[in-house]
Structure 1
Amino acid sequence: MTEKLLQYLWNFKVFKNFDFKDIEGNAIEVINFGKWNTDAGPDFLFATIKTNNLVLSGNIELHVKSSDWIFHNHSKDPNYQNIILHVVFQNDVEIEEFNDRKIPTLELKNFIDENILWKYEKLITEDHFIPCEGIFNINSIPINFHEENILKKLDSKSQELEKNLEQSKNNFEAVLFQSLAYSFGLKVNAFIFRQIAESIDHSIINKIRQNKFQMEALLFGISGWLDSPQDEQMEIWKREFDFVKVKYQISDINFRPKFLRLRPPNFPTVRLSQLADLYYQHQNLFSKIILIKNTDELLNVFKNVQASEYWNNHFNFGKISTINQPKTLSPDFIELIILNTVLPLKYTYHKYHNEEIADEIIEFYKNLSPEKNSIIDSWKKLGIKMNHSMETQSLIYHFKSCCEEKNCLQCSIGLRLLKDPTNRGAS
């Protein structure tokens, strides 16, 4: 038993029965279990109980053992003066001040199903893909589970974007460019690409985006790749970069994106060229994606984006490749950009003045393909079928926010598994 679990059981009222009596045998009727307090102070606020024909309103404190009241030094803390009930798993010592203040103590040891304790022990100790793997079943997934996860993910992402908007003086175009750069960088170069985007005043991007070579030259130059040209095309990019650098007073900064552990199509050279082409093709990119309400139209924004002709037979500067073909964005990569960048920004932009935006965004998720990765493969092994990206995005978010951190007590699946008396897990 942990105090966190005890609070959880009290909050969700997971007990064998509610014929509560204090340690002296007096009946206790809990009229209101109180509001779970996640900040400092008593565990549950605004509670109401009835005992000895008296109705008491105030706060409730929970401990694994009654002696924890002493160890936690609550007696001298003014935040604990309005306690009406001390709830413990085990009453190991008598608290004299409770006798003086006539505060009842409720011992819960005999009101909690031992199967719940056994299941919780398995959740926090066993090493599986998800903590509840040994007792998991598909029926434990609540209705609207995926929609709720998507909205939580969007709200979390929206908070990040709002911080970025504050830093950029509410410039959605600049935040879109930074977010797209992050996505184009993938895991290896995401932060570096974002730093590159943030280092450029977005007014410069707006001024040179009609010149694709200048856009490429700026991104390549800031990356530190044009110092020693190795062929004629690099010479052209270097001249363009030197011109832009002087004209717009760009400081000397080299970010040096990484090539290690990347497949050649994902090399930063190719991805930055594609990012430049995206902004060259769509002069009003933010306005365009914000207004789009059709998934096919959104996909078409990225459909014809490709790296410049130089990269048809190159993956790195000065090194001709035996592979000669246009470096376009793959369908999977396009959907990744939409899922991780476009939809969260659309949600953030519209959420304060479009009450239906959540439903619209969820429809976008439902019209995009299910993702393929190791997390999704592991969910599939548990018997879960996924038909679209709303389900895969939901399960990825749930794994990272709950399962990976073993936040089983904050998990709607965990609640069902713990409460289900028929689920005793695998033998």
Structure 2
Amino acid sequence: MSDARTILEKLRRGDRPTEAELYWFAEGLACGTVSDAQAGAFAMAVCTHGLGSDGRVQLTNAMTETGQRLKWRLDGPVVDKHSTGGVGDCVSLILAPALAACGAFVPMISGRGLGHTGGTLDKLEAIPGYNTDVHPDDFQDIVADVGCAIVGASADIAPADKRLYAVRDVTGTVDSIDLITASILSKKMASGLEALILDVKTGSGAFMAEPGAALDLAQALVGTAQGAGCMTSALVSDMNQPLAASAGNALEIIEVMEVLTGSGDALDQNLAKLTIALGGELLALGGLAADAADGEGRIRGAIERGDAASVFGDMVAELGGPADFVERWPDRLPAARVMLDIHPSAAGQIAAVDTRMLGEIVVRLGGGRMRAKDRIDLTVGLSDIARLGETVDNSRPLARIHAATEEAGRAVAADLRKAFTLSDGVVEVPPLIVERIG
């Protein structure tokens, strides 16, 4: 018979708990027999000593089993994608409908923004009427009918993770690879997936800023997911600049719609390029493409033909949004009251971007949250963000600020300038995809 004290003593000594002990502890987190103090001690001990690769798989499976595990009977593979978070990263909103248009089913359970990174659910709620809180039965029906649905997690999905995540946030153990891995994958495994693609960010806007740390996390995630029985691979991608040219909830929906509706050169920008690369990998994992290159062609075709936009429109309508959103999206999205173009003090090329600072500016404008219960302004943020290697001057601003008031916009202008390093020499732009794992 297991008990919290015995498990914690083993961890403190650097010994690895048994599989049965990890299952007991996960169940204790979910049902409340493990106290907050014991949960915090567990998180700190795992952060200090680690669980090893087998322990990561066991903890992930244990946390998955504490709640509902979705089961599917569909005529195509059930797949999903997860990003470790960044600035201007709205890939999910393009990728889910594109995958569905290619024959996959995508039950995407997403989260809200916290800190400098944006949240998929917050972005979707910029669409009037879109409801991210649906009953699990309705969620399954919409996935079956439309091919995809992007919603929030119900209380029945991996409840042990919700408890442990809250404890990690206040005990300084958020950056433990073992705990990150179990947290991400327990929710994904509970979704009943057959295949998963992971987008692990590295760079100035990523939680894992150093490439080595991002690579370690990617390897841990892929190994653990495969050990738990899910076909998985990962791309380590660059976050040394925002992925899209906008950061902010309604502003990123505009970026999404420009890709889905083929506006301008949107398909040639980093947002679409990474979406297509991730989708190609996932279609190959799910057996809907011969290889990643074939999958990329299928994803691009679904976007170019408008099939992905059609699926996106169906999803929006099924989840309470306007039935004509795809046709009339410029009229449907809320806009900020004030827009300010911020120019550099001198002309030059963008040599470096403090991407995290840009995300924090969005939060200061009211477009993000530092605490889970913070209310946010869906209209504010940054658009037209200058890219690495681009020349900025009196005619080309660093970015456009969207703010609730002119005072709020002016208050962040100085920090916006500080976020960009300019050069008059040749600027080397890092590759968008740094590494493939799996």
TM exceeding 0.5:
no
Instruction: Give the number of the structure whose alpha-carbon radius of gyration is greater.
Output: 1
- Name whichever structure is richer in helix by fraction: 1
Give TM-score scaled by structure 1 length. Answer: 0.21
Q: Which has the higher contact order (CA 8 A, sep 6+)?
A: 2
Give TM-score scaled by structure 2 length. Answer: 0.21
